[in-house]
Amino acid sequence: MMGTKNTMANKNIMGSEVVDGFSCKPKKIDPNKPMMHYKTLIYVCEDERCKSASKCDKAMELREIVKELGLHKGKNRIKISRSFCQGACRFRQVMQINENTKANGNTKNNAIWLKHTHKFSKQKFKKLFLSLSEDKELDEFEKIEMKVYE
């Protein structure tokens, strides 16, 4: 019984056995294994200026919230990735939202950049992630306006 429990604990949600001390790093790399589906991919800027605003490991914090909501897997999976500077430092902390339009056809919340996300509470992030999973409008979140300069 104990052996079964340990084996389960040492596998990631893709079913791959993982390196001791890691929760997702596979022991055997299979270059042909597909990447896990995501509905929404969020790039969290963790370069110098944005990181100084949040003063924490924001990506890790957000991954925990995503997990709490059960949105770390399945058809509405939200993937959180870190990025270097996105060239919008004055709006720090910046997050870029990308919908997997190829898989789900939703373009409503695609290519949205959010600003001042270091001021978001945990509740606000929960609301954001739930809104994204349900394809709701993100009216209450401060977006970075885009302008074409001629």
The site for ligand FES (CB under 6 A) is made up of 45, 47-50, 85-89, 92, 94
Smallest distance from ligand FES to CB 127, Å = 23
Instruction: Please say which residue, 48 or 64, places its beta carbon nearer to ligand FES.
Output: 48
Instruction: Please say which residue, 18 or 88, places its beta carbon nearer to ligand FES.
Output: 88
Instruction: Please say which residue, 85 or 138, places its beta carbon nearer to ligand FES.
Output: 85
Instruction: Please say which residue, 5 or 90, places its beta carbon nearer to ligand FES.
Output: 90
Residue 120, judged by CB atoms within 10 A of its CB (0-12, 13-18, 19+), counts as buried
For residue 98, how many C-alpha atoms fall within 13 Å in the half-sphere facing its CB?
12
Indicate the angle between helix axes 58-68 and 122-133, nearest 10 degrees: 60
User: Cα–Cα distance between 74 and 141 in angstroms, integer?
Assistant: 25
3-state secondary structure of 137: coil
Smallest distance from ligand FES to CB 146, Å = 15
Tell me how far apart the 2 most distant CA atoms of the chain are, in Å.
Answer: 68
Smallest distance from ligand FES to CB 144, Å = 10
Smallest distance from ligand FES to CB 48, Å = 6
